[in-house]
Amino acid sequence: MNEDFKERLNNLIGLDSFLLKKSLKELFEATGVDYTNYICALKQKGKRVSINELAQEIIDTQDAEKICEFARNVKGAPIDKLSQGIVATNFNAQHIYCFAKEVKGAPIDILAQKMIITKNAEYIYRFAHDIKGAPIDKLAQAIIDTHDAKYIYYFASGIKNVPIDKLSQGVIATHNAEYIYKFALDVKEAPIDKLSQEIITSQNLEYILYFARFVKNAPIDKLTQAIIDIHNAKYILYFARFVKNAPIDKLAQAIIDIHDIQYIYYFACDVKGAPIDRLSQEIIATHNVEYILYFARFVKNAPIDKLTQAIIDIHNLEYIYRFARDVTGAPIDRLSQEIIATRNAEYIYKFARDVKEASIDRLSQEIIDIHDPEYIYEFALFVKEAPIDKLAQGLVATQSILYIYKFARDVKDAPILKIRESILPIIKERKENNLETDAYILLLIMLYELYKEKNKEIFKLPFLIEDDESFGRI
C-alpha cells in the first residue's frame, strides 16, 4: 500500500457514513488501489466502519469481480446482501455462476433461480454440473426451455440423477439430428425408439446411418426403410456396407430400383453377401460396356460367361479386346473369334500382342489374310512367338516396299534372303506387264545392304535373271 493511500485512509477514520461513502468512492477513483487491500486496511484502521457499510460500498460500484472478491475474502461479509448485488450487475450469468462456485455459504437456491432467469444454456449447465447442492430438476427444465440441443445433451450425459425422459423430449423438440443421435449414443437409459423416430423424421442421411451403425439396440429395420425411402444410392450402399445385420437383399433391390449404375457396381464390389447375379443382370441391362468390364474384372464371383456374352452382343471391339486382356477367366477363344470375325487388323494384332493364351498362329493367319502391311509388320515386331517366316511371306504378298524393308530391318531373325527371293517373281511379273520395277530393284539392293550389315560378311549377289543385262549389272 503506497504512503499517499495510507495517509488519505487515516484521514477517513471517524467520518460519518455519508461522508465515508463519498470519500471512499473518491479515494478509489483517485488511487485505483485493489479493493482487497483497501478493505483489509479499513478493517485494521477504521474501527468505526462496519462490514455492512463496506459491503454496500462494494455493491454500489457494480463491479462483479470486486463483489465476488469481497464475499470470498472478507470474514463476516454479508453473503446474502452481496449475492443480491452480484445479481444486480447486469444480470450476468457468468458472475452468478462464479459467485455460487467461489463464495462459501452462497445462497445456492436463490442464485440458481436467478441463473434460470438468464436463459444462458452454457452457465445453467455449468451451474448444475459444478455447484454442489444445485436444484437439478429446476435447472433441467431451464436447460430444456433454452432449446439448445448441445447443452441439453451435455446436461443429460454429464450430470448424475437427471430426468432423462424429460431431457430426451427436450432434445427431440430441437429437431437437431446431431445431438439427438449423440443423446441416444451416450446417455444411459435414453429412449432409443423415440429418438430413432425423430432421426428418421429428420431425413438426415448421415445421422440415420450413424444411428443404425453405432447406437446400441437401434431399430435397424425402421432405419433401413428410412434410408431406402430417401432414394439416395450412396447412403444405401453405406448402410449395407457398414451397418451390422443390415438386410442386404432389400438394400440391393433398392439400389437396383434407383438405376444408378455406378452404385450398383460399388454395391457388388463392396458389400459382403451382395446378390451378385441379380446385380450383374442389372449391369448387363444398361449395355454400358465400361461397367460390364469393371463388374467382370473386380467383382468377386461375377458370372463371367453372362458378362462375356453381354460384351460380345454390344459389338464394341475395344471392350471385347479389354475384356479378354483384363478379366481373369475370360473365354479367350470365344472372344478371339469375335475379334477375327470383324477382320479389323488393328484389334487382331492387339489381341495377339496383349492377351495371354491367345492363339498366335490363328491370329497371325488372319492378319496375313487381311493383307494389311502395317499390322503384319507390327505383329512380327511386337507379338511374342509370332511366326516370322510366315508373316514375312504374307508381307511380301502385299508388295509394300516400305513395310518389307522395315520388316527386314527391325524384326529379329527376319529371313532377309528369303524375302529377297520372294521379291524376284514380283519384279519378273511387273516387267512382263510393262510396270515400273525400279523401286523393287532398289529394295533388293537395300535388303542386300541390310543382310551384309547384319551378317558382317561379304558375299556375291546372285544374278537375278540371267538373260537380262539390267539385272546382271546389279
What pLDDT band is residue 49 in, cutting at 50, 70 and 90? low
Report, as an integer, the average pLDDT of 278-293: 97
Task: Indicate if the pLDDT at residue 18 is higher than 70.
Answer: no
pLDDT in tens, 345-372: 999 999 999 999 999 999 999 999 999 9
pLDDT given at position 364? 97
Q: Which three cell numbers mark 231?
A: 432414394
Q: What is the CA radius of gyration of the chain?
A: 48
pLDDT given at position 60? 79
pLDDT given at position 41? 56
Q: Which three cell numbers mark 184?
A: 441416444
Would you tell me how many other CB atoms lie within 10 Å of the CB of residue 127?
Answer: 26
CA dihedral 101, 107, 110, 116 (to 10 degrees): 10
Distance (Å, whole) CA 454 – CA 147: 92
Distance (Å, whole) CA 200 – CA 226: 6
pLDDT given at position 39? 53
Q: List, as one string, the DSSP characters of 181-215.
A: HHHHHHSTT--HHHHHHHHHHHT-HHHHHHHHHHS
pLDDT in tens, 299-318: 999 999 999 999 999 999 99
Report, as an integer, the average pLDDT of 107-121: 93
Q: Which of 253-262, 314-323, 425-434 has the lowest mean pLDDT?
A: 425-434
Distance (Å, whole) CA 443 – CA 440: 5
Tell me the pLDDT of the chain averaged across its residues.
87
Residues in contact with 269: Cβ distance below 8 Å, sequence separation at least 6, in sequence order: 298, 299
Q: List, as one string, the DSSP characters of 233-289.
A: HHHHHHHHHHSTT--HHHHHHHHHHHT-HHHHHHHHHH-TT--HHHHHHHHHHHT-H
Task: Indicate if the pLDDT at residue 275 is higher than 90.
Answer: yes
* DSSP reduced 3-state for 457: coil
pLDDT > 70 in the chain, percent: 85
Task: Indicate if the pLDDT at residue 461 is higher than 90.
Answer: no
pTM here is 0.76
pLDDT in tens, 410-458: 999 999 889 888 888 888 888 888 888 888 888 888 887 888 777 765 4
Q: CA of 467: how far to CAs of 410, 417, 427, 437, 460, in Å?
A: 34, 22, 14, 16, 18
